[in-house]
């Protein structure tokens, strides 16, 4: 895999490779790498993908993977629509509606509106697509610093991007295509500068944050923006890609793209058996 980090370095941009950071003061360490079990995985090369995949999303039925062929001069950027359950098969491929270079990096699904929202490398716009027809319906202006990692809870959006810092930003969309959101700093506790994927987990609730720093760090942020804990997903994931929540055996779990050799891989991580329930974490947090 020609990692995204190499392209950024060639362009004169530096992707930070920070060490794992400790959880925020007053929040106990939740667990270790051993607590995250791989529930499922599949090789994207076996489905005909290029080596330039980055984002993974969900539409209520199938998984989406951004196959960013343009960066390698292999054609237009596409979404690969892939069945959620094993054996994972390709349903169809659809264009990303004119994105260039690395195109779509991360995606966020909103069940209420039946839309898939996309964070892009080549634009600060956030586009949205019909989850059922795959047709682009509109776009609105995202954060000026970039929207590489994107998560949503209804009309509330959480983004980070540009590989320029450890902040994450929150904005509320008014539902109007072409509108400009007002963004505020929601968190300053992201694990490192490599934020490349985010997913809103309603069961905790929390935001999972995938990084492409070469360290395999997965962060977990509480909905107040504090860092609950971090996980090291190596050796399976050193450079992460996009991530999204989607079902596995009836439970909502975290699906993450890994930028790996010789082909990119999608993993499903068990985030329901982490040893500390949402209610327990909330009770402990109030003690500090």
pLDDT in tens, 170-182: 999 999 999 999 9
pLDDT in tens, 87-106: 999 999 999 999 998 999 99
The continuous run of DSSP H or E covering 62 comes out as: strand 62-67
- The answer to whether residue 153 scores a pLDDT higher than 60 is yes
pLDDT in tens, 121-133: 899 999 999 999 9
- Which of 8-22, 188-202, 240-254 is least confident? 8-22
Instruction: Give the pLDDT of residue 35.
Output: 62
Distance between CA atoms of residues 69 and 50, nearest Å: 6
Q: What is the mean pLDDT of residues 236-246?
A: 92
Residue with the two structure tokens 């860092």: 227
The continuous run of DSSP H or E covering 172 comes out as: strand 168-172
Q: 0.95 cut: is pTM over it? A: no
**In which domain, by residue range, is 164 found?**
4-17+29-285
Distance between CA atoms of residues 196 and 55, nearest Å: 9
Buried b (16+ CB within 10 A) or exposed e, 254-264: bbbbbbbeebb
Task: Count the domains in the chain.
Answer: 1
Q: What is the mean pLDDT of residues 270-282?
A: 62
Instruction: Give the pLDDT of residue 283.
Output: 44
Instruction: Give the pLDDT of residue 213.
Output: 79
Instruction: Give the pLDDT of residue 275.
Output: 53
Q: What is the mean pLDDT of residues 189-208?
A: 92
The answer to whether residue 24 is domain-embedded is: no
The answer to whether residue 92 is domain-embedded is: yes
Instruction: Give the pLDDT of residue 261.
Output: 81
Distance between CA atoms of residues 108 and 131, nearest Å: 11
- The answer to whether residue 183 scores a pLDDT higher than 90 is yes
The answer to whether residue 22 is domain-embedded is: no
Q: What is the mean pLDDT of residues 231-236?
A: 87
Report the CATH number at residue 184. 2.120.10
Residue 221's SS3 state is strand
pLDDT in tens, 60-75: 999 999 999 988 889 9
Average pLDDT, the chain: 84
- The answer to whether residue 23 scores a pLDDT higher than 90 is no
């Amino acid at each position: 895999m020609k990692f995204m980090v190499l392209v950024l370095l060639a362009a004169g941009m530096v992707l930070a490779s920070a060490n794992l950071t400790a959880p925020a003061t007053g929040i106990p360490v939740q667990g270790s790498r051993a607590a995250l079990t791989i529930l499922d995985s599949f090789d994207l090369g076996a489905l005909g993908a290029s080596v330039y995949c980055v984002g993974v999303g969900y539409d209520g039925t199938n998984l989406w993977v951004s196959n960013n062929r343009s960066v390698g001069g292999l054609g237009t950027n596409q979404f690969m629509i892939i069945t959620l359950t094993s054996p994972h098969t390709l349903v169809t491929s659809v264009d990303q509606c004119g994105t260039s270079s690395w195109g779509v990096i991360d995606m966020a699904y909103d069940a209420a509106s039946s839309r898939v929202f996309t964070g892009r490398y080549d634009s600060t716009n956030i586009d949205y697509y019909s989850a059922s027809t795959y047709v682009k319906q509109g776009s609105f202006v995202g954060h000026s610093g970039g929207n590489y990692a994107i998560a949503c809870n209804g009309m509330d959006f959480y983004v980070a991007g540009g590989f320029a810092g450890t902040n994450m930003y929150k904005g509320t969309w008014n539902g109007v295509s072409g509108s400009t959101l007002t963004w505020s700093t929601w968190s300053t506790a992201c694990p490192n500068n490599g934020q490349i994927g985010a997913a809103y987990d309603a069961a905790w609730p929390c935001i999972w944050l995938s990084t492409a720093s070469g360290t395999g760090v997965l962060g977990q942020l509480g909905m107040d923006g504090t860092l609950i804990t971090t996980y090291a997903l190596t050796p399976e994931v050193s450079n992460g890609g996009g991530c999204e929540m989607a079902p596995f055996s009836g439970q909502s779990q975290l699906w993450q793209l890994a930028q790996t050799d010789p082909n990119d891989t999608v993993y499903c991580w068990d985030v329901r058996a982490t040893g500390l329930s949402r209610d327990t974490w909330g009770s402990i947090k109030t003690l500090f």
